[in-house]
């Protein structure tokens, strides 16, 4: 028959034709333009290529309210995730309703234009509560919402000019319509998608293989290469791993495509969103596991969502999602039988040995260079992971001192540097507060804005050093907890971050007053002086706090060395 299956017919995109795009691109050069953030680029790509169908642009205020309150657009359509163009207040002030703006990527290339129909200040706490389940910054998306996202949202329809440019794995990226056409061509009527942001090991291979068999469907491995949870294995490494695993499936039943989605780790809502996206990509089935897209623990140390909340919400909305749920078979390795089995199908549990290696345990073994058994993963995958995650003792790291002026940060940092250089092995760079302010941050003062800028610059340099296998020692006051946290996140992508609170009391610092600054601050001759006329957020969870009042410098530095040893960062 010529009738096309609904999951395989083309879906609407937001792109204009090639000729119009050329013209529009020139015209858009005169428009006010917004430089998209990495997350907005991901969102825009899926808006334009139909991955977020039926959205036609960034949400309007009315749609946003409906989505936040009960997962529905104003017209009643199911849509669980706010997709907003967040901008700064300063930028928003320059925009009038009805105005067209150009949306540029980070190199300045115009990807789209947008007609701004809505502009509003969202209630971020409400968004956090409703969408992510709690206004708790331990949730990566809530943290993003409060600390990275702009305070004003712009909404309105988008006109697509061109796709964001990708230089990596080009042949493995497909738009929804490209995948639909591919399935059509191969005659794949049923396709079960597997969402992942982690490397695949044998258990995943088994479960996806089984899911496909059960649904009598072909399998699409559909990993996220946009933005995942901070701290995840980078997508370059993962894709090389996926390519190795792809060979382990029966040929011609399984395919892989990369999805440039910016995840929010929103658990249940995220599962529904993922299903809608997969339906747009021509899939008929979707695997939802235990704790799907879970963000980890909240600030009280508990899980944000129940382990099966995602499956429940998905099931309740399945008919509207248009992509049937295949629930995750929890696969475990049975040592006596040397094979993986679905845990709910094992009857003789008392007589057998079930082996398992958690994600945490895997990371520990990589970090410490320990064995990763063959039953757990594929040798090719382990080899890739070891290439990117050498043992901790071969990785770079950052020691970040924080404390009041005159607390002894610089002195201890210097001693630490000398001790590390004595040991040898890695290059060491000291980014001392005073030194940084003479060069890297020479034009900055001590307002909150300038201090944050100063710390972010130090964090940037330290993250580059850490990434390249060196040791960065930083010693600024760094009075703001949120900024320290930002730096920690940036660095922990590449190596360890050791926050050292030099816990000398303000009274003691003032008594010592080594530079005579406290006296001037008391007299009002220095304004905004930390501890006197400016705040200092005492670190709540530093890796180590050193007391300088009863210990000499050498001893304080030695304490840090011991900590580094216990973390496996330096050979004992
Ligand atoms: S910050 O807040 O982290 O950006 O500060 P930092 O770069 O570490 O710079 C702190 C040093 O600058 C001197 N100084 C002041 N400190 C705090 N508040 C005010 N208003 C101020 N004005 C000058 C002071 O010598 C600090 O040096 P340290 O090494 O901390 O004693």
pLDDT tens digits along 346-404: 998 899 999 989 888 998 898 888 999 999 999 999 999 999 888 888 899 999 999 99
Closest residue by CA, ligand 1 atom 5: 477
Distance 433 CA to ligand 1 centre (A): 7
Helix axes 553-566, 409-423, angle to 10 degrees: 60
Sheet strand arrangement including 218-223: 254-256, 218-223, 191-196, 285-288, 324-327
ipTM (interface pTM): 0.93
pLDDT of residue 360: 84
Q: Is 397 in the pocket of ligand 1 (CB under 6 A)?
A: no
**How far is it, in rounded angstroms, from Cα 240 to Cα 229?**
19
pLDDT of residue 572: 57
- Mean pLDDT over 460-480 rounds to 97
Report the range of poorest mean pLDDT among 128-142, 321-335, 408-422, 475-489.
321-335
Q: What phi, psi does 206 have (nearest 5°)?
A: -65, -45
pLDDT tens digits along 291-318: 999 999 999 999 999 999 999 999 999 9
Q: Which helix (H) or strand (E) holds 239?
A: helix 235-246
SS3 394: helix
Mean pLDDT of the chain: 95
Q: What phi, psi does 81 have (nearest 5°)?
A: -125, 125
Q: Is 116 in the pocket of ligand 1 (CB under 6 A)?
A: no
pLDDT of residue 438: 94
The full DSSP string for 336-369 is TTTEEEEGGG-S-GGGS-EE---HHHHHHHHHHT
SS3 483: helix
Res 57 pLDDT > 50:
yes
Q: Is 452 in the pocket of ligand 1 (CB under 6 A)?
A: no
Reference 66, options 54, 74, 58, 75; nearest CA is 74
**How far is it, in rounded angstroms, from Cα 448 to Cα 355?**
52
Q: Is 477 in the pocket of ligand 1 (CB under 6 A)?
A: yes
Instruction: Quote the tokens at residue 321.
Output: 């999602």
Mutational pocket test of ligand 1: of 404, 405, 512, the residue with most ligand atoms within 8 Å of the beta carbon: 405
Q: Is 433 in the pocket of ligand 1 (CB under 6 A)?
A: yes
**How far is it, in rounded angstroms, from Cα 551 to Cα 412?**
11
Where residue 333 falls (left for φ over 0; alpha for ψ -120 to 50; beta otherwise) is beta
> CA angle, 391 as apex, 389 and 397 as ends, to 5°?
85
pLDDT of residue 3: 59
Helix (H), strand (E), coil (C) string for 508-568 = HHHHHCCCCHHHHHHCCCCCCCECCCECCCCCCCCCEEECCCCCCHHHHHHHHHHHHHHCC
Distance 516 CA to ligand 1 centre (A): 13
The residues pairing with 17 across neighbouring beta strands, listed in sequence order, are: none
pLDDT of residue 1: 41
pLDDT tens digits along 75-123: 999 999 999 999 999 999 999 999 999 999 999 999 999 999 999 999 9
Contact 159, 12 (CB under 8 A): no
Res 24 pLDDT > 80:
yes
The atom of ligand 1 lying closest to the CA of 478 is: 3
Place of tokens 């309210």: 65
- Mean pLDDT over 443-467 rounds to 97
Instruction: Quote the tokens at residue 205.
Output: 């291979």
The residues annotated as belonging to the active site are 196-198
The atom of ligand 1 lying closest to the CA of 533 is: 20
The residues pairing with 398 across neighbouring beta strands, listed in sequence order, are: 472, 497
Instruction: Quote the tokens at residue 425.
Output: 């092995």
DSSP state of 277: H
Q: How confident is the model at residue 330 (pLDDT cuts 50, 70, 90)?
A: confident
């Amino acid at each position: 028959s010529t009738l096309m299956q609904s999951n395989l017919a083309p879906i609407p995109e937001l792109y204009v034709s090639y000729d119009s795009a050329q013209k529009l691109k020139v015209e858009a050069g005169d428009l006010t333009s917004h430089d998209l953030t990495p997350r907005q680029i991901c969102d825009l790509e899926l808006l334009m290529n139909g991955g977020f169908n039926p959205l036609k642009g960034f949400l309007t205020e009315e749609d946003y309210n409906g989505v936040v309150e009960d997962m529905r657009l104003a017209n009643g359509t199911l849509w669980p995730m706010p997709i907003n163009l967040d901008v700064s207040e300063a930028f928003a002030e320059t925009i009038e309703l009805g105005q067209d703006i150009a949306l540029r990527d980070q190199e300045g290339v115009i990807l789209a234009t947008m007609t701004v129909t809505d502009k509003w200040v969202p209630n971020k706490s409400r968004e956090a509560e409703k969408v992510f389940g709690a206004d708790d910054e331990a949730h990566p998306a809530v943290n993003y919402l409060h600390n990275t996202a702009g305070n004003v949202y712009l909404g309105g329809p988008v006109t697509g000019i061109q796709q964001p440019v990708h230089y990596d794995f080009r042949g493995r990226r497909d738009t929804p319509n490209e995948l639909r056409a591919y399935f059509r061509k191969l005659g794949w009527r049923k396709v079960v998608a597997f969402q992942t942001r982690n490397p695949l090991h044998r258990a995943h291979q088994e479960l996806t293989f089984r899911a496909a068999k059960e649904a009598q469907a072909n399998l699409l491995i559909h990993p996220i290469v946009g933005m995942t949870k901070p701290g995840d294995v980078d997508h370059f490494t993962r894709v090389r791993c996926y390519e190795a695993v792809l060979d382990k499936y029966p040929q011609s039943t399984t395919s892989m495509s990369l999805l440039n989605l910016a995840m929010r780790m929103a658990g249940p809502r995220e599962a529904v969103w993922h299903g809608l996206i997969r339906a747009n990509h021509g899939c008929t089935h979707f695997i939802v596991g235990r704790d799907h897209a879970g963000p980890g623990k909240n600030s009280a140390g508990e899980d944000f969502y129940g382990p099966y909340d995602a499956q429940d919400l998905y099931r309740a909305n399945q008919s509207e999602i248009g992509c049937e749920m295949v629930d995750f078979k929890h696969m475990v390795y049975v040592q006596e039988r040397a094979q993986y089995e679905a845990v709910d199908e094992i009857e003789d549990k008392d007589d057998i040995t079930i082996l398992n290696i958690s994600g945490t345990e895997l990371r520990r073994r990589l970090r410490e260079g320990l064995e990763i058994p063959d039953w757990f993963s594929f040798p090719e995958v382990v080899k890739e992971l070891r290439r990117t995650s050498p043992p901790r003792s071969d990785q770079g790291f950052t020691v970040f001192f924080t404390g009041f002026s005159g607390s002894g940060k610089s002195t201890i940092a210097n001693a630490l540097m000398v001790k590390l250089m004595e040991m040898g092995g890695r290059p060491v760079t000291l980014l001392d507060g005073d030194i940084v302010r003479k060069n890297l941050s020479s034009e900055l003062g001590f307002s909150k804005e300038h201090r944050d800028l100063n710390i972010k610059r130090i964090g940037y340099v330290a993250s580059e050093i850490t990434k390249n296998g060196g040791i960065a020692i930083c010693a600024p006051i760094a009075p703001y907890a949120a900024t320290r946290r930002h730096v920690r996140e940036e660095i922990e992508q590449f190596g360890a971050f050791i926050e050292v609170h030099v816990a000398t009391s303000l009274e003691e610092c003032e008594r010592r007053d080594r530079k005579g600054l406290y006296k001037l601050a008391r007299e009002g001759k220095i304004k905004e002086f930390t501890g006197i006329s400016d705040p200092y957020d005492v670190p709540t969870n530093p890796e180590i706090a050193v007391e300088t009042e009863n210990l000499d410098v050498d001893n304080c530095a030695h304490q840090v060395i011991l900590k580094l040893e216990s973390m496996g960062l330096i050979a004992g």
